[in-house]
């Protein structure tokens, strides 16, 4: 037993890095693709296309972020099935996930007109930009089955302890997207609508790659011995939806926080909006790295819970927090001493850089205040502890973020410092809340 423990301790760091690194690369490829899209239309004759892409991308980011539970719910369940070595459960999970993603995506396509009308009622833009953004929306919405299906595949591959396949698909899809965009925009003389077509083609190409990799690498796990009807039984679909419902509520709270962050910034001045938008990119970039370790936690925690390896699970959690803390320290150090360098890469407007100086301390503190919530998210997802995730997020949102913001802003008159202080304490509260619930949650999952 002692020898096995020593072997596990010596290998766990390698497993964490093996799973985290491809996920970090995949995460970074997403904003790079958005920058390439903007660069392509940014060289056209008018900047109206940039506005159309910006609005259209924002709409889909909101929609797809809301359904991110398809990836998270699938990864935790499939990781546990992998640990249990139950191939039939591994099959059921991906079929159930794809079934649910298909139902949601078909609903989005059917409801595309009211979704578009509501969106452009809430978002104001010039007539020209709204017309192009609407055209972009009506084209790209047809990629919904592929996009949501890929969420399920990514979660399933991760649960099956393979992070390289999602990385390969993400990078290949981005290359296809870029080539298709260039062909449509410059070859066929299109504009923002060409970028939309390129995205649709890339998403379905990625979906085909996911299906190919599934059968190539996991054929032994996918010998369907029962009918599809048995795979999507009402009781099992209901349990799958219940898990994802909690993650959906948790995600809506997160969206509410960052939407309010932007709206409260805009309510102050245009300069404050610009400053906060620029500084928020530092947090987003940090999240790409920390999420890599959170995804590794999903896969490894789920596997160990499936194996009922409680002692190994304790060791794993300590290792995950070690890596999460190291990453947060590195980013805090970089942000503390090199923030102005990175701000200079984001903008050449010196007045914005100068006005940002009094808020840079928050950027340096965010990694330290938030790393625990990232790691716990991965652990909770791997443990399929969706209820605990939901509850800590609701409390941090409704009892910490919003009340503290109004106290800081309305009573203490801290102006723009209010939103940053509220965000910092929100992130800290999530980590503390999850730490409090972790012992009881993990004890239940291992019984």
**Mean of pLDDT values over 30-34:** 67
Whole-number pLDDT of residue 33: 66
Write down the mean pLDDT value for the chain. Answer: 85
Distance CA 253, CA 247 (A): 10
CB-based contact 312:304 (threshold 8 Å): yes
pLDDT at 378 over 70: yes
DSSP, collapsed to helix, strand or coil, labels residue 44 as coil
Does the structure show a pLDDT above 80 at 82? yes
Output b/e per residue, 45-80; b: 16+ Cβ within 10 A.
eeebbbbbbbbbbebbeebbeebbbbbbbbbbbbbb
Higher pLDDT, 205 or 195: 205
* Prediction pTM value: 0.85
8 A C-beta contact, residue 60 and residue 145: no
Residue written as token pair 């379905």: 204
CA distance 75 to 377: 12
Identify the residue with better confidence: 76 or 440. 76
User: For the residues 199-214, what does the mean pLDDT come to?
Assistant: 93
Instruction: Indicate whether 123 pLDDT > 60.
Output: yes
Structure tokens at 48: 């109206």
Residue 290 has pLDDT above 70, yes or no: yes
For residues 255-281, give the mean pLDDT.
83
Percent of the chain exceeding pLDDT 70 equals 86
How far apart, in whole angstroms, are the C-alpha atoms of residue 186 and residue 304? 51
Residue 334's CB: how many other CB atoms inside 10 A?
17
Mean pLDDT value across residues 24-39: 73
pLDDT at res. 352: 82
What pLDDT does 121 receive? 76
Q: Which of 147-161, 253-267, 317-331, 355-369 is least confident?
A: 253-267
pLDDT at 384: 85
The arithmetic mean of pLDDT across residues 365-377, rounded, is 95
**How would residue 226 be classed by pLDDT, with cut points 50, 70 and 90?**
very low
Q: For 292-313, what is each residue's pLDDT tens digit? A: 999 999 999 999 988 887 778 8
Rounded Cα gap, residues 182 and 177, in angstroms: 9
Q: Reduced to 3 states, what is the DSSP secondary structure of residue 333?
A: helix
What confidence score (pLDDT) does residue 197 get? 92
pLDDT value at residue 47: 61
Neighbours of 342 (CB within 10 A): 16
What are the structural domain ranges in the chain?
Answer: 20-232, 242-447
Task: Give the pLDDT mean for 425-444.
Answer: 85
Which of 348-357, 389-398, 419-428, 438-447 is predicted least confidently?
438-447
| C-alpha–C-alpha distance, residues 313 and 331, integer Å | 27
pLDDT over 70 at 222, yes or no: no
Q: What is the mean pLDDT of residues 121-129?
A: 70
pLDDT at residue 259, rounded to an integer:
82
- The pLDDT of 266-277, averaged and rounded, is 81
Is the pLDDT reported for residue 227 higher than 60? no
């Amino acid at each position: 037993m002692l020898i096995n423990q020593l072997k596990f301790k010596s290998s766990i760091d390698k497993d964490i890095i093996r799973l985290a690194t491809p996920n970090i690369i995949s995460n970074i490829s997403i904003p790079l693709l958005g920058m390439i899209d903007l660069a392509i239309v940014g060289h056209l004759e008018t900047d109206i296309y940039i506005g159309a892409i910006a609005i259209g991308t924002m709409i889909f980011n909101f929609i797809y972020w809301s359904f991110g539970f398809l990836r998270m719910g699938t990864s935790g369940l499939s990781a546990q099935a992998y640990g249990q070595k139950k191939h039939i459960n591994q099959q059921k999970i991906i079929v159930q996930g794809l079934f649910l993603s298909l139902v949601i995506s078909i609903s989005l396509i059917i409801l595309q007109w009211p979704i578009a009308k509501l969106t452009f009622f809430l978002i104001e833009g010039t007539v020209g930009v709204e017309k192009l953004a609407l055209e972009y929306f009506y084209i790209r919405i047809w990629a919904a089955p592929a996009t949501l299906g890929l969420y399920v595949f990514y979660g399933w591959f991760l649960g099956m302890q393979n992070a390289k396949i999602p990385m390969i698909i993400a990078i290949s899809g981005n290359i296809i997207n870029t080539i298709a965009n260039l062909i449509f925009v410059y070859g066929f003389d299109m504009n923002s609508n060409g970028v939309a077509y390129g995205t649709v083609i890339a998403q379905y190409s990625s979906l085909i790659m996911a299906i190919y990799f599934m059968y190539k690498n996991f054929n032994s796990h996918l010998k369907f011995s029962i009918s599809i009807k048995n795979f999507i039984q009402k009781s099992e679909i209901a349990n799958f939806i219940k898990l994802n419902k909690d993650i959906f509520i948790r995600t809506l709270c997160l969206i509410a926080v960052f939407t309010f962050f932007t709206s409260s910034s805009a309510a102050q001045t245009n300069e404050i909006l610009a400053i906060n938008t620029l500084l928020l990119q530092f947090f987003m970039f940090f999240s790409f790295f920390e999420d890599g370790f959170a995804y590794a936690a999903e896969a490894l925690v789920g596997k160990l819970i499936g194996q009922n390896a409680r002692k190994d699970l304790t060791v794993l959690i300590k290792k995950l927090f070690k890596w999460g803390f190291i990453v947060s320290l590195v980013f805090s150090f970089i942000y503390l001493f090199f923030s102005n360098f990175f701000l200079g890469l984001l903008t050449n407007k010196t007045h914005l850089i100068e006005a940002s100086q009094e808020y840079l301390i928050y950027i340096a503190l965010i990694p330290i205040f938030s790393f625990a919530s990232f790691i716990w998210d991965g652990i909770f997802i791997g443990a399929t502890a969706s209820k605990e995730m939901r509850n800590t997020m609701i409390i941090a949102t409704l009892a910490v973020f919003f009340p503290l913001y109004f106290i800081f802003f309305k009573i203490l008159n801290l102006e723009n410092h209010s939103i940053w202080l509220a965000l910092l304490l929100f992130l800290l509260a999530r980590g503390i809340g999850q730490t409090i619930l972790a012992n009881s949650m993990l004890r239940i999952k291992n019984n």
